[in-house]
Amino acid sequence: MNRTFLIVVLGCGSSSSTNEAPVQPQPTVPQRVLPSDSPRAPRKPTPAGDRVEVLVTNTESATDLVVTDEYLYWIGGGQFEKQNILRAPHQRDTSPSLLFDAPEGAHELVLVGDRLVWSQAAWSIFTMPLTGGTPTELVKLEDAPSQMLDRDGLVVAAYMPGETGDARVFRVSKRGEITEIAKLLGSESPHIAFDPKGDLYVATDDAGGWHRSRTVVFGRVVEGRVVPIVKQPGGVHLIAADADSIYYVSEDNLVNTIYRLPSGAKKPLRLARDHENGSITALAVDEQYVYWAEYMTGTADGKLWRLPKTGGGKPQAIADCGETTRLVFYGPDLYWADARLNRIARIRR
């Protein structure tokens, strides 16, 4: 499955540009938060990189990190091998162990209550205790999950691949019962985020990608209907929310750009732009900053960035980042799994 990489998840040659002025839209829990080549000049390491703590190394293609007090859980495996569920003690310089050998590979690992939940091929969702054991098939779907998260239970965004398939957002009970939240006609690969008040926001990718007939959706779910909040014809790749604003990634002249839309506003504020040969693969916000992970096409020299949520100043590179699709807040730290640098790391916020 091609994942954009909610999600909760998380250029390199020069500093990112910022602009706090409003711009016209372009035509065209505790474990989680809620992804053209060109030569670039070498860059000096950032001083902030000294604050990075590497917890696990030599874990290939690490993704979908879950953090608890005692253990770290993630999906990993060789680049061309099926992805299994791994875990390691929550400490520095530790070694991973295999928790579950997923016969068909695991995807979208999340923590719901005290159980791990993930999807496998054939669009089935499984659950298992944190200690491991035999997984239980929770539900078998007719569509492909694109994001799963815990919000008073399991919430799933899924879509039917193909030219005419639809997307939807729904809840799954502990018994595997499905309650539909919203249906997205003619849309693909939905992304979801809840704000602290419990309002659900949903967005879909660019309709001009593989399927020109796709419908772009970006809005708040109200009584089963998606109410548009701003026109974004190029689609929205990632979203995050706090009590005051919605943050999202879209394209501006083919460059990934981060916007903030304050509550009640009709025009978004442009916070930062990525580089032309980069893409933003994870997005998260805390009380002070918006964070994002950058993937540089064909290389391992992206960065993890942050910027005050209100904008202003230049984005600060706080860590090296090869390929990261989820950023996890846990206590005072920010965690991530890196599928290209093959490690799990954290940094003090």
Give the CA distances from residue 208 to residues 171, 194, 233, in Å, rounded to whole numbers and listed in that order: 29, 27, 9
Q: Provide the token pair at 275.
A: 């580089």
Q: Where are the domains of the chain?
A: 47-348
CB-count exposure of residue 227 (10 Å: 0-12, 13-18, 19+): exposed
Distance CA 191, CA 148 (A): 9
> In this structure, which topology does domain 47-348 adopt according to CATH?
Methylamine Dehydrogenase; Chain H (2.130.10)
Q: So what's the pLDDT on residue 165?
A: 67
Residue corresponding to tokens 């091929």: 121
Distance CA 326, CA 64 (A): 6
Q: So what's the pLDDT on residue 79?
A: 59
Q: So what's the pLDDT on residue 296?
A: 83
Q: So what's the pLDDT on residue 163?
A: 58
Instruction: Say if residues 16 and 303 touch (Cβ distance below 8 Å).
Output: no
Distance CA 104, CA 322 (A): 26
Q: So what's the pLDDT on residue 300?
A: 67
Q: So what's the pLDDT on residue 30?
A: 39
3-class DSSP string for the chain: CCCCCCCCCCCCCCCCCCCCCECCCCCCCCCCCCCCCCCCCCCCCCHHHHHCEEEEECCCCCEEEEECCCEEEEEECCCCCCCEEEEEECCCCECCEEEECCCCCEEEEEEECCEEEEEECCCEEEEEECCCCCCEEEEECCCEEEEEEECCCEEEEEECCCCCCCEEEEEECCCCCEEEEEEECCCCCCEEEECCCCCEEEECCCCCCCCCCCCCCEEEEECCEEEECCCCCCCCCEEEECCCEEEEEEEECCEEEEEEEECCCCCCEEEEECCCCEEEEEEEECCCEEEEEEEECCCCCEEEEEEECCCCCCCEEEEEECCCCCEEEECCEEEEEECCCCEEEEEEC
**Interval 98-134: pLDDT, tens:** 999 988 889 999 999 999 999 998 889 999 999 999 9
Distance CA 31, CA 194 (A): 15
Distance CA 106, CA 74 (A): 10
Q: Which residues of the chain have pLDDT under 50?
A: 1-48, 207-214
Q: Provide the token pair at 16.
A: 């990112």
**How large is the C-alpha radius of gyration of the chain?**
19
